């Protein structure tokens, strides 16, 4: 049995780890404070060109995408069953007509195989932003329009790609 302090620490550890994770909302706040009022060309010079643009009478809407990466998530199998004893008894007649009983003790069922819970898969990671500018090309709004989870502990790929720290 674990001491109470150890148990409490084990229960709080996931919460502490999540508290340090950056989210899409963190990325949006950092983007807005850093880029609103800046020339859009400065953003594109730092992070690459947009993938699309749409002209408006009041400026333009750009779509930018970056940080594309493919991550492999391995399959998850059920855990092996704990060791258990299987007793197999077999009775047969030998060549002289005598009955022979043979007992075998197996510590684990030899036919047990782990069960596949979730298959392995590939996951696409990326950050997609919508950037609105005024007629002069200054950024008026910027936000993550499509954000996957990060490659590490981050909950936001945009936060990773754009260097946002919590």
Tens-digit pLDDT profile for residues 20-48? 577 889 989 999 999 999 999 999 999 99
What is the rounded distance in angstroms from the CA atom of residue 63 to the CA atom of residue 65? 7
Same domain, 25 and 70: yes
For residue 9, being part of any structural domain is answered with: no
Residue 38's CATH number: 3.30.1450
Range of 86's domain? 77-116
Tens digit of pLDDT for each residue in 95-127?
A: 787 888 887 776 666 566 778 899 999 999 999
Query: Does residue 6 lie in a domain region?
Result: no
Span 67-104, pLDDT tens digits? 999 999 999 988 766 666 667 778 888 778 788 888 77
Give the domain-ending residue among 85, 101, 116: 116
Report yes or no on whether pTM surpasses 0.85. no
Does the pLDDT value for residue 166 go beyond 80? no
Looking at the fold, whether 126 and 45 belong to one and the same domain comes out as: yes
């Amino acid at each position: 049995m674990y001491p109470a302090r150890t148990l409490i620490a084990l229960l709080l550890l996931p919460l502490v780890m999540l508290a340090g994770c950056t989210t899409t909302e963190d990325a949006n706040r950092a983007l807005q404070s850093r880029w609103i009022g800046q020339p859009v060309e400065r953003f594109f010079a730092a992070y690459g060109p947009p993938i699309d643009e749409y002209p408006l009478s009041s400026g333009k809407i750009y779509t930018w995408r970056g940080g594309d990466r493919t991550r492999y998530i391995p399959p998850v199998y059920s855990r092996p069953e704990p060791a258990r004893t299987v007793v197999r008894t077999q009775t047969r007649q030998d060549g002289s007509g005598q009955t022979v009983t043979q007992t075998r003790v197996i510590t684990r069922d030899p036919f047990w195989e782990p069960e596949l819970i979730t298959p392995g898969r590939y996951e696409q990671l990326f950050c997609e932003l919508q950037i609105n500018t005024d007629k002069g090309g200054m950024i008026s709004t910027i936000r993550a329009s499509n954000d996957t989870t990060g490659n590490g502990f981050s909950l936001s790929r945009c936060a990773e790609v754009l260097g946002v720290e919590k």
